Structure 1
């Protein structure tokens, strides 16, 4: 006979969660097609050199925006979901308002900083003087990029995982691709179109959040057994985690940009983004799982948490392993769909895909740790991962170029997947076992 809590989990899934997962994966399918189409169009319309400049800007935007979110995105997801689980809507509202206000201010500061250092970074850091103007324009993208991700994280806390994915990841690549296909624009125009698409995502996210305002007025009948820490106390270690992770994803690109030409950077960036389509799907599953992780942990349902975690991991592996096999089998074909110039990165794509398969086999444990309030464990793991990544990039990229960048990226991904898997077993999933 199944345990009562496991039976309840299955009943819940049959009652609608499976449909939400299907819808979430459908949205990620739209995102995948949109991003792949955007990468194809960028490669075809801009050429290898300008595509390399665009991907350097995209990497810059991703890193700086992550810093500007200050860790409040995952913290909001945790606090909103956990407080709503015990009926405390007013506490959830406080977390929402504080998180959005502080990230908005930080995003403006990040945009101003980008304007100040754009020319210096283009000339001194990367050695591409023609990168300066695209970096200036990238400052315009930072505010909507930061707010779109923060609004999506808040929506995830409300259990609106599908809407969160649309706001964070699915709408902007489709809109940017449409602009690139419809208008005769260069690299600067693509960046402006990206900013406009992200602004549209922010408007959509804000409109959906307004529909949840009634849930933010409730007060629990009795206080929860354990109060949550302040939002900043939750966000602080997660900020370290987010910076480390985005730094690790951008580090091989930046180091390669210092030792190779823009065309090589473009080829590696395309291979990296194709391999990260696996990660995109895993993040989709994690976004949907995050509020339930937070709620089950807050309610102390250890058996339900373990059962739900197994379900999440099996679903991610079911998607990640076949996708990896395709990338291993036909890397040149996949790269050739974008441009024949990028086939030089075929081996790099295979190496990167192996790293992402490790993510698929040990998926979402970083999200589980974050939703359980184990940010201190996560940041220690991530700093160790960053130290290893710096050494690997410093040794492998100058020695082996594009292939070395792929090896460094893949090995750090493997380290992160194994580390969070071990930490989740020790610090979260072992609690409550007889």
Structure 2
């Protein structure tokens, strides 16, 4: 005899267990990244820490450009084709995406090697940035491939494994290298490249163990239209990815042009602390993304709306407490990183205001990306970029770190509000 409510319990475990697993992995990421940032700030000092954060910002931007949106497009294509039982098409999308990301990573690496010295001198007015930037170029291709493999796992509905590969493993590995004795800026950057390579290889192992033919197929309408070619899906999403990373990098880059490296280092730490809210949003959004794609392809509007509401509720429940802590005790939290970083306390509180809006209106960019609305998302991002450039030119030179913080908060809030309004307009059945 079945116990009353047992089937309901199993259903809730199946529904929410994967989100809990993803948040646990992202908690591991939180520990790894906080440890990495704190230890780097302490052992490198303010100047070299500023160079380190500029280098990893550059690597992130270059790796994102290298992926050109193919990782997000692959999630949609894999999940959508598996929903209809088209496993061969899903495999073909994965292979095509991997090839383009590899080629993009090679090109981005060589471009960085070519322009590193001119960029250090002409853009950042700091020739000492050139040598570490040349070393950081080694990390671009491994990071691009690492993130692609993770997204392939997302498409295969292996979200927890994908989260581990993309977000948790490489910070832990890099931190481990530092704890083992790597103390120089050059050594840490080499360790970062090796950590991304190791994470990518682990992801490949997960990928082999999670082949499409091992996934339960959800039956859908056989008359469903054919998806566009992968590159057509990727093109607007690639622009979106580059713009998003640029929106994160622009305040730091503008501040670096007008402030001392120590100020840039303190702001970078505060900025990355505020962005840890993305840990929550991306953790839940990455689990929801293939489900958005599959439910949309199956035209299951009730399921799509329920999935969206579930994701938004979970983000709010998990994200609001850390936002409150950072807004109430910014100086105390920054003081834990190291002496001198408290100067960014006001900036941290301001940036958390933007993340508060983001936390209350989350995951709608993912909804647009996974339902074929990439072009709409691209124009929303261009609007953010325009705001960032115009407001940045006014705020950062005039108000320094505070201006950069206001700029970051403004752009983040604009993105959350804009994507939510567009989902309401284009996909009202999803809200």
- Provide the rounded CA distance (Å) in 2 between the counterparts of 1:196 and 1:225: 43
- Provide the rounded CA distance (Å) in 1 between the counterparts of 2:21 and 2:221: 35
- Provide the rounded CA distance (Å) in 1 between the counterparts of 2:98 and 2:73: 11
Partner-residue secondary structure (3-state), 2:98: helix
Aligned match for 2:37, one of 28, 36, 39: 39
CA pair 214-314 structure 1, distance change in 2 beyond 3 A: closer
Report the equivalent of 2:4. Answer: none
Deviations 1:62-91 (A, max 9, x none): 111111001101100000000001110001
CA pair 24-51 structure 1, distance change in 2 beyond 3 A: same
Q: Does residue 1:94 correspond to 2:92, yes or no?
A: yes
- Provide the rounded CA distance (Å) in 2 between the counterparts of 1:131 and 1:330: 33
**Structure 1 gaps, min length 5:** 1-9
Shift, 1:15, TM fit: 4.9
- Provide the rounded CA distance (Å) in 2 between the counterparts of 1:405 and 1:348: 8
Partner-residue secondary structure (3-state), 1:226: coil
Report the equivalent of 1:3. Answer: none
Aligned match for 1:168, one of 148, 166, 170: 166
| Contact 1:86-1:224 within 8 A present in 2 as well | no
Report the equivalent of 2:256. Answer: 257
- Provide the rounded CA distance (Å) in 1 between the counterparts of 2:364 and 2:398: 33
Report the equivalent of 1:16. Answer: 14
Partner-residue secondary structure (3-state), 1:337: helix
Report the equivalent of 2:375. Answer: 376
**Structure 2 gaps, min length 5:** 1-7
CA pair 414-143 structure 1, distance change in 2 beyond 3 A: same
Deviations 1:299-343 (A, max 9, x none): 001111111111110110111211111011100010000112110
Q: Normalized against structure 1, the TM-score is what? A: 0.95
Shift, 1:217, TM fit: 11
Instruction: Map 1:14-413 to 2 at 5 A.
Output: 14-213=12-211, 215=213, 223-413=222-412
Shift, 1:212, TM fit: 2.6
- Provide the rounded CA distance (Å) in 1 between the counterparts of 2:397 and 2:220: 62
Shift, 1:379, TM fit: 0.4
| Contact 1:275-1:353 within 8 A present in 2 as well | yes
| Contact 1:278-1:356 within 8 A present in 2 as well | yes
Deviations 1:397-429 (A, max 9, x none): 000000000000100000000000101111123
| Contact 1:244-1:382 within 8 A present in 2 as well | yes
| Contact 1:92-1:216 within 8 A present in 2 as well | no
CA pair 242-123 structure 1, distance change in 2 beyond 3 A: same
| Contact 1:88-1:218 within 8 A present in 2 as well | no
Partner-residue secondary structure (3-state), 1:183: coil
Corresponding pairs, count:
423
Shift, 1:224, TM fit: 4.0
Shift, 1:269, TM fit: 0.3
- Provide the rounded CA distance (Å) in 1 between the counterparts of 2:222 and 2:99: 27
CA pair 13-133 structure 1, distance change in 2 beyond 3 A: farther
Partner-residue secondary structure (3-state), 2:276: helix
Q: Normalized against structure 2, the TM-score is what? A: 0.95
CA pair 94-12 structure 1, distance change in 2 beyond 3 A: farther
- Provide the rounded CA distance (Å) in 1 between the counterparts of 2:215 and 2:362: 35
Shift, 1:13, TM fit: 4.8
- Provide the rounded CA distance (Å) in 2 between the counterparts of 1:88 and 1:80: 9
- Provide the rounded CA distance (Å) in 1 between the counterparts of 2:215 and 2:413: 43
Deviations 1:232-269 (A, max 9, x none): 11101101111110000000000001001110110000
Partner-residue secondary structure (3-state), 2:407: helix
CA pair 217-311 structure 1, distance change in 2 beyond 3 A: closer
CA pair 229-120 structure 1, distance change in 2 beyond 3 A: same
CA pair 157-195 structure 1, distance change in 2 beyond 3 A: same
CA pair 304-71 structure 1, distance change in 2 beyond 3 A: same
Partner-residue secondary structure (3-state), 2:268: helix
